[in-house]
Amino acid sequence: MMRGMETRAFSAAAPHQATGLGLGGGGAVDEQQAAGVGILLQISMLVLSFVLGHLLRRRKFYYLPEASASLLIGMIVGGFANISNTQKSTRRWFNFREDFFLLFLLPPIIFQSGFNLAPKPFFSNFGAIITFAILGTFIASIVTGLLVYLAGLIYVIYRLPLVECMMFGALVSATDPVTVLSIFQELGTDVNLYALVFGESVLNDAVAISLYRTMASMRTNSPGHNFFVVILRFLENFVGSMSSGIGVGLISALLFKYAELGVENLHNLESCLFVLFPYFSYMLAEGLGLSGIVSILFTGIVMKRYTFYNLSADSQRFTARFFHLLSSLAEAFIFIYMGFDIAMERQSWSHIGFIFFSIIFILVARAANVFSCAYILNLARPPHSQIPRQYQVALWYSGLRGAMAFALALQSVHDLPDGHGETIFTATTSIVVLTVLLIGGSTGTMLESLQVVGDSNRYRHSYEENFDGSNSGYEEGTSTPSKFQLKLRELRRSTSSFALLDRNYLTPIFTSQHDDDSDDDDDIDDDDSPDEALGIPAVGEL
């Protein structure tokens, strides 16, 4: 079970903690030297990754994005270490431990993702983002799992039990478009397309990990339960985690509103408390048997919306820069870490057909996700604010697989018997490398060919001007809607009702500077992301 693996992070690192004790022994000295060499290599690769990424951006070379460069650096160094006589004590510093990943590296990235969401485009597209992230991920997971299972039944690929196929479908449904998003920013993609891709990917990780845990628990505890019990358990885990994260975020908002920590001599205390709340949310959810990833994501969204504006100006600048820095370091380290481990791990290449067809199946499942959800969403939208086909293709192409899929696949090695986990891990590794290097590198060409970037985007004006939640486009030039379409449109109107609730009640209750900050926030959203308004570089510009 993945819920318990975070608690083993420190025990996994225990062999390294004794290196500084008993320096009189030769073995301890060798161990300490190996630890120093391992850490030095990690820092050197991080420096190389940031420098190389900066040079690639300056030359506008989009065929090798920063994430791809970091992955390649890790794979090259890992390959040399694998064929050399590097000591095992040095090598083990680079073993990709999923507990370390989930406990230390992923939380700051997920929190920053929620914290960095620009409220206006995000909430304008909230219904679409939720649909793609929850319904779409569920569709992609089920379609992938069923295709793998059916292909196994007719002996096209290596056969796995149905529950294990569903676990595989859940873990490869986790997208990681950090590579694509950096190119989106560089080329000036429409803010609504950026919000759809970014918002879906942020929530998608949380949904995928909840689905994987649900399928894993069904396999080990109660394999006889039906499909509806699976859905119920997933919703219980997801809604409980989301409620936990929102609750912690609102409590933090009230604390900073009434504690009056913004005086000059308490700025350090204010910043320290703000930094601690995300990890408190994460650990609280894990302690309750829920998903810390889901919880910390919604804590980030709520803390940015309410708590952030209760901070002093100095603390706002510090916390925004701190989380951006932490997230950038963690992202670069994850791809290096992942590349090194891919080169060092023994892969199970005995089922090439499984790997080949899995790549095809995830492309089909991603298409089923994007195009079916877009069709449903467009039923609820007036003609001028429907999601264009070109945007749908861009969404489909942006479904790269990354660190979350890799970590869950590595966990499946421990969860599944008889070499099934090794087969899934090798297939997932191949998918990650292929999507990050090939699809990520061709994203710029794809966006230009679809004409959805810069001045060539002929959809930008008509798409943006109808994103104010108005329904004026429903009456003109449209046929009589069906009952299903009317219900979808009523659901879409509810998002604007939530915006009124937020403006009139939630913001005054949970913030102390809502009158001024709401205006400033609107100005920020119209032109720049929140971080850019504070003078913080965009993703990958450190």
What pLDDT, on a 0 to 100 scale, did the predictor assign at position 90?
A: 56
Task: Determine the average pLDDT of the residues in 503-509.
Answer: 84
Stretch 26-40: mean pLDDT, rounded? 73
Please state whether the predicted TM-score (pTM) of the whole model is above 0.85.
no
pLDDT bin (cut points 50, 70, 90) of residue 264 is low
Q: What's the pLDDT tens digit per position in 340-371?
A: 878 876 666 677 888 899 999 999 999 999 99
**Residue 56: is its pLDDT beyond 50?**
yes
pLDDT for 332 beyond 50: yes
What are the Cα distances from residue 446, in Å, to 63, 178, 196, 433?
11, 16, 17, 19
Q: At 261, is the secondary structure helix, strand, or coil?
A: coil
Residue-wise burial string across 336-363, b where 16 or more C-beta atoms lie within 10 A, e elsewhere: bbbbbbbbbbeebeebeebbebbeebbb
pLDDT at site 469? 43
Indicate whether 525 pLDDT > 80: no
Predicted local confidence at residue 531, as pLDDT = 44
State the Cα–Cα distance between residues 202 and 118, nearest whole angstrom: 13
pLDDT of residue 300: 92
pLDDT of residue 147: 95
Question: How high is the pLDDT of residue 505?
Answer: 82
Residue 480: DSSP 8-state:
P
Contact 300, 114 (CB under 8 A): yes
| CA nearest to 415, candidates 180, 228, 167, 241 | 167
Confidence of residue 284 (pLDDT cuts 50, 70, 90): very high
204, 231 contact by CB (below 8 A): no
Most confident range, picked from 259-268, 349-358, 480-489, 524-533 = 349-358
pLDDT for 54: 84
Q: What pLDDT is attached to residue 105?
A: 85
Distance CA 370, CA 383 (A): 19
* DSSP-assigned states of every residue in 362-399: HHHHHHHHHHHHHHHHHHTS-GGGS--HHHHHHHHHT-
Which residues, 6+ apart, have CB-to-CB distance to 329 below 8 Å?
46
Distance of CA 116 to CAs 109, 335, 511, Å? 10, 21, 18
Average pLDDT over residues 384-407: 85
Which one has a higher pLDDT value, 49 or 477? 49
Average confidence (pLDDT) over 249-259: 91
Averaging pLDDT over each range in 60-64, 171-175, 509-513, 524-528, which range is the top one?
Answer: 171-175
Please tell me which of 194-203, 219-228, 493-502 the model is most confident about, judged by mean pLDDT: 194-203
| Per-residue confidence (pLDDT) for residue 93, from 0 to 100 | 63
Ranked by mean pLDDT, which of 14-28, 84-98, 120-134, 237-251 comes out on top? 237-251
pLDDT value, residue 462 = 47
Q: pLDDT digit string (tens) for 403-443?
A: 788 888 888 888 887 778 888 988 998 898 888 888 877 87
Please state, in angstroms and as integers, the Cα–Cα distance from residue 375 to each residue in 359, 369, 370, 494, following that order: 24, 10, 9, 20
Q: CA-to-CA distance for 54 and 379, rounded, in angstroms?
A: 43
Which DSSP helix (H) or strand (E) runs through 415?
helix 403-415
47 membership: H or E segment, kind and range: helix 26-58
Distance (Å) of CA 4 to CA 185, 287, 289, 292: 38, 9, 9, 12
Query: Region 525-532: what's the mean pLDDT?
Result: 43
Find the mean pLDDT for residues 327-333: 88
pLDDT of residue 521: 45
pLDDT at 493: 60
What is the mean pLDDT of the segment spanning 39-63?
Answer: 85
Confidence of residue 485 (pLDDT cuts 50, 70, 90): low
With cut-offs at 50, 70 and 90, classify the pLDDT of residue 29: low
Please give the average per-residue pLDDT across 93-114, as a whole number: 79
CB 508 within 8 A of CB 514: yes
> In this prediction, what percent of the chain has a pLDDT beyond 90?
19
Q: What is the mean pLDDT of residues 9-36?
A: 53
Which residue type does 21 have?
L
What pLDDT was estimated at residue 224?
Answer: 52
At 431, list the tokens: 């998918």
Q: What is the pLDDT of residue 196?
A: 87
pLDDT of residue 255: 92
Over the Cα atoms of the chain, what is R_g?
24
Angstrom CA distances, 29 to 24, 55, 84, stand at 8, 39, 22
Closest CA to 406 of 320, 456, 337: 337
| Mean of per-residue pLDDT scores for the chain | 77
What whole-number distance in Å separates Cα of residue 138 and Cα of residue 125? Answer: 19
| Residue 170 confidence (pLDDT) | 92
- Cα dist from 170 to 175, 224, 378, 524, whole Å: 11, 19, 26, 36
Categorize the per-residue pLDDT at 473 as very low, low, confident or very high, splitting at 50, 70 and 90: very low
Burial 463-473 (b: 16+ CB within 10 A, else e): beebbeeeeee
Residue 457 or 60, more confident: 60
CA 309, CA 162: separation in Å to the nearest integer? 49
At which residue do the structure tokens 């001599």 appear?
A: 265
pLDDT at 515 over 50: no
Counting residues of the chain whose pLDDT is more than 70, the rounded percentage is: 73
Bridge-partner residues for 453, per DSSP?
189
Q: Give me 20's structure tokens.
A: 């500084």
Residue, of 292 and 146, whose pLDDT is higher: 146
Check whether 217 has a pLDDT greater than 60: yes
pLDDT at 459 over 50: yes
Tokens coding 229: 């019990």
- Does residue 511 have a pLDDT over 70? yes
Of residues 279 and 524, more confidence is placed in 279
Check whether 445 has a pLDDT greater than 50.
yes
Q: Which helix (H) or strand (E) holds 57?
A: helix 26-58
Q: Which tokens go with 320?
A: 């925004």
